[in-house]
Chains A and B, each alone.
Chain A
Amino acid sequence: MKKFKQFVNSFLLVELLKGLMVTGRHMFSPKVTIQYPEEKTPQSPRFRGIHALRSYPNGEERCIACKLCEAVCPAAAITIDAGVRESDGSRRTTKYEIDLFKCIFCGFCEESCPVDSIVETRVFEYHFEEQGAQILTKEKLLEIGLIHEEQLAQDIEADAKYR
């Protein structure tokens, strides 16, 4: 009996018609496409985009050249040289470079930083126009930090209670 029922069902294409009904219904339901350049998906405060070096409000750079980020970086994308700054004798980086071709955007550098200096911004739309431009120097990183400081401060504030 069960076999007979199965035979009738497959012979009358019952399952196939059910499948057609599903797609037929979906044709009229609202579409989920995000039209990218005009519309964008929501971002988390923890979003990991291009990197930046933050500064204090008085303009002093935060980084103290502890090299924790360089040590933790799994892709060895960060290169740091430390030295004494001429003006006040404090320990600072003389070279801070991130190779974006090596970087895997894991966010470990951000997590390891004791002074919230190296961070990842929400910017994910960028490109390079010549060879070597993928290496973010200290100047570039500080500049990106200045541009996005407001957003970065908010995001770190929002995430602070979970860290």
Chain B
Amino acid sequence: MSDVDFVDWAMTLIWILVKIVLIILPLVLAVAYATYAERKLIGYMQLRLGPNRVGPKGWLQPIADTVKLIMKEIVVPQGSSKVLFIIAPILFIGPSFAAWAVVPFDAGLVLADINLGLLYILAMTSIGVYGVIIAGWASNSKYAFLGAMRSAAQIVSYELAMGFALVGVLMCSQSTNLGDIVTSQSGGILSWYWLPLFPLLVVYWISGVAETNRAPFDMAEGESEIVAGFHVEYGGMAFSLFFLAEYANMILISFLTAIMFFGGWLSPFEGLGVLEEWTAWIPGTIWLLIKASWFLFMLFWLRATFPRFRYDQIMRLGWKIFIPVTLVWLPVVAIIIKAGWLD
């Protein structure tokens, strides 16, 4: 007991808590304005204007939405499993926030610099499905249950394709530490992994869309068939936790794509002489944010463009197309690495 430096221990704890707040707060804000950006962008793509009444150009719309959700009552349905009903949104949002611990925002700017970052991310994004299943089951509603089952099947299927796609990244970088993965891509836009791993990038990206239950893979929600899927019985803050987690997951997938295939915080002008000098003042975090925003934009773009897949089509795509594609491309990656074309 005596050899534990309590002050040091407390300082570390407080410092970690401060870091967590520094990640979570901007994340929640980003989620709020991602909903605004989504509504605006989809509106624009459908020749509408989107929200533009609350505040200048509708900038206060997410605030108004939040206030509305906070004021609403949480109705626990009769016949539901009350404890699980309350726990489910917490189980869903916990992992989706926890996954951010290993995301490197710049060289060394990461909360938990662990060597199994990649596995940790895969674990955290899959654990979220428990929240979905429990929410669907505890609601005592057939639509919620159908949505939960669909979501579980979908996430399990696409987890495989996603994992295989990440094996390619693992092979190229020889590391599961996300920071190392980024630094192993250094050397300009052509040495990022999107080039040698292009099919895996596409598979990873589409699996990511499916993993976050986003259109066109939003079977679990399917407004037109099963109302709102697993969270049909939720209202107020309980619903907004699901909403927050879903959007946090979307932003996470965007960040991960940028980190694993597009060089994370690295500048695209590396090794380009004059251009590199001119853009040297831009911090790596900005580059990462720009890349991640593009993928977030892609998510909205996909939603504005494609109709929802049928359930069997989703299963076919996951099992019969994505997994074979990744399995074929992995030997190709191995050959590329052994031939030394990657350096």
Which A residues fall within an 8 A CB radius of B? 13, 16, 19-20, 22-24, 26-27, 29-33, 35
Please report which residues of chain B, range 85-108, place their CB below 8 angstroms from some CB of chain A when the two chains form the complex. Answer: none
Closest to B202 in A: A13
Q: How far is the CA of A141 from the CA of B314 in the complex (A)?
A: 61
Contact yes or no, A23 B48, CB < 8 A: no
Judge if B49 is at the interface, Cβ distance under 8 Å: yes
Question: Of the candidates B41, B44, B305, which one forms a contact with A22 in the assembled complex, judged by CB atoms under 8 Å apart?
Answer: B305
B278 contacts the other chain (Cβ, under 8 Å)? no
What are some 5 contacts across the A-B interface (CB < 8 A)? Answer: A13-B202, A19-B305, A23-B45, A23-B305, A32-B47
From the candidates A16, A27, A35, name the one contacting B44 in the complex (CB within 8 A).
A27
A13 contacts which chain B residues (CB < 8 A)? 202
> In the complex, which residues of chain B have a beta carbon less than 8 angstroms from the beta carbon of A23?
45, 301, 304-305
- B49 contacts A31, C-beta separation under 8 Å: yes
CB within 8 Å of A: which of B35-54?
Answer: 41, 44-49
What is the CB-to-nearest-CB distance from A95 to chain B, in angstroms, rounded to a whole number? 44
A26 near B301: Cβ-Cβ < 8 Å: no
Q: Is B306 an interface residue (CB 8 A)?
A: yes
Which of A22, A27, A29 has the most B CB atoms < 10 Å from its CB? A27
- Residue with the highest number of chain B CB atoms closer than 10 Å, among A13, A23, A29, A31: A23
Contacts of A26 in B (CB 8 A): 44-47
B49 neighbours in A (Cβ, 8 Å): 31, 33, 35
Residues in B with CB closer than 8 Å to A16 are 305-306
CB distance from A136 to the nearest CB of B (A): 33
Which of B44, B48, B301 interacts with A20 by CB under 8 Å?
B301
- CB neighbours (8 Å) of B304 from chain A are 23
What is the chain A residue whose CB lies nearest that of B325?
A11
B48 in contact with A31 (CB, 8 Å): yes
Q: Which residues of B contact A29 (CB under 8 A)?
A: 47
Interchain CA distance A148-B134 in the complex, whole Å: 62
Q: Contacts of A24 on B, CB cut-off 8 Å?
A: 45, 301
CB-based nearest B residue for A21: B305
Q: How many Å from the CB of A8 to the closest CB on chain B?
A: 14
Which residue of the partner chain A has the closest CB to B302?
A20
A31 to B202, CA, bound (A): 32
Known: A19-B306, A29-B47, A31-B49. 15 other contacts (CB 8 A): A16-B306, A19-B305, A20-B302, A20-B305, A23-B45, A23-B301, A23-B304, A23-B305, A24-B301, A26-B44, A27-B44, A32-B47, A32-B48, A33-B48, A33-B49
Q: With the chains together, A149 CA to B8 CA distance in Å? A: 86
- Residue of chain B at shortest CB distance from A34: B49
Chain A residues positioned under 8 Å from B47 (CB to CB): 26, 29-33
Residues of B within 8 A of A33 (CB): 47-49
Q: Which 3 A-B pairs have the closest CB atoms?
A: A23-B45, A23-B305, A33-B49
CB distance from A71 to the nearest CB of B (A): 45
Which residue of B is nearest A16, CB measured? B306
Give Cα A33–Cα B305 distance, bound, in whole angstroms.
19
CB distance from A86 to the nearest CB of B (A): 56
Cα A13 to Cα B306 with chains together (Å): 12
Give bound CA distance, A129 to B302, whole Å: 46
| Shortest distance between the CB of A145 and any CB in chain B (Å) | 36
In the bound complex, residues from chain B placing their C-beta under 8 Å from that of A32 are 47-48
Which residue of chain A has the shortest Cβ distance to B321 in the bound complex? Answer: A11
| Residues A27 and B45 in contact, CB atoms below 8 Å apart | yes
